[in-house]
Chains A and B, each alone.
Chain A
Amino acid sequence: MSRHLLILPAHNEANNLPRVIPEARAAATDYDLVVIDDGSRDATAAVAASLNADVVSLPVNLGYGGAVQTGFRYAVEHGYDLAVVMDSDGQHDPAGIALLAETVLSGQADVAIGSRFRGRMAYHQPWVKRVGMHLFAWTVSRITQREVTDPTSGFQALNRAALLFFAYDNYPVDYPDADTLLVLHFAGFRVVEVPVTMRERLSGVSMHSGWKPFYYVVKMWLAISMVLLRERTHVSARRISS
């Protein structure tokens, strides 16, 4: 019997969880659910607990990547075979969970990524960031020889090998992005995109707001260059054998 985990990283999402958790449960009936409360200052942990969710509360705010990685460690340490990561602000339509999981469980991929550009798109972003994202997606597609349209998507399903790879290393603290996909590719993991629907967040402040899009583009460019350099100098990430 294969065990599945739904990971919901949450930072100040007390207002959204009462809608997101039941919706996710309805869409993923045979999944255990864990909320990673990333040092929230509101009642996120209490709300999640009152909805009977397992809650891992981080004493300080680590950032999105750090919270998701905590979920990966939880999944590895509790022996799950598959984990799906989903935003807890309502942006990810849980209807996508089934297709993501199926793509991994059928052995087509080690990591399945929900792409808003393949699926239905209901979403706004600053143009600089949009252009940057397309450029990075194109770069990753060229290098991996696989079409990538949405490298920033946090709606993902991972098998145990990929979970192990990310649980203790190789995962950025801030935001997994195009560079993370390249690391996966170089380590020999198969990454496949599937179409999903993303919506505007229900309430609260998005983690991308206030972000300088220019800063994002330059940082991402540096991160991608570094992954390529590491690969060339043979200090790139390697799989953990288990």
Chain B
Amino acid sequence: MMAPLPRLLVFALGLTVLLLVINLVRKRQLQERYAMLWLLAGLALTLAPVFIPWLDHFAFSIGFEYPPALLLLLAVVGLLLLIFQLSLTISRDEDRLKILTQELGLLRHTVAHLQRAIDDMNDDALPAPAESTTPPDHD
């Protein structure tokens, strides 16, 4: 059985996590799909004082001699899942970043070429009339 003070602390911690996450989503600094896991974590902490006695019973019944070990196990598994999701996201983002970087480099090269061609054309051409009746050619 958990003493009142630790219960209160866990409850406060859960509430803080929930508020923090909700506020970050509100300010659009955290995307909803990443917020869900953290909201779940915050909710679990907030409700922990209520279901911990029940969890202790459950831990005993499936053979844990030290019930908090089950809690820690669940916490570790949860964190591993979170980290795993981040690894997946990083892999995908690195792939995207690579393509964007390559495209950007190639585009900059093309733009520099076009700019040079335009400069050459302007150097060669006579000063254009102020109002041209023919639209510019596009390739």
Contacts and interface: CB of A to CB of B under 8 A. Distances in A.
A55 B106 contact: no
B98 A62 contact: yes
Interface of A is mostly: mixed
Interface in A45-101: 54-60, 62, 66, 69-70, 73-74, 77
B109 A66 contact: no
B101 interface: yes
User: Which of the four size classes fits the interface of chain A?
Assistant: 10 to 19
B105 interface: yes
B49 to A, nearest CB: 45
B94 A58 contact: no
Contacts of B98: 62, 66, 173
B105 A59 contact: yes
Contacts of A55: 109
A60 B101 CA distance: 7
A182 interface: no
Contact of B101 (A54, A66, A77): A66
Interface in B88-139: 94, 97-98, 101-102, 104-106, 108-109
Contacts of B109: 54-57, 74
Contacts of B94: 173
Nearest to B108: A57
Contacts of B101: 58-60, 62, 66
B106 A59 contact: no
Contacts of B104: 58-59
B102 A73 contact: yes
A186 to B, nearest CB: 21
Contacts of A62: 98, 101-102
A66 B102 CA distance: 8
A173 B102 CA distance: 11
A59 B105 CA distance: 7
B102 A57 contact: no
A111 B108 CA distance: 29
A36 interface: yes
Nearest to B103: A73
A212 B55 CA distance: 47
Interface of B: 94, 97-98, 101-102, 104-106, 108-109
Interface of A: 36, 54-60, 62, 66, 69-70, 73-74, 77, 173
10 contacts: A54-B109, A55-B109, A56-B109, A57-B105, A57-B108, A58-B101, A59-B108, A62-B102, A74-B106, A74-B109
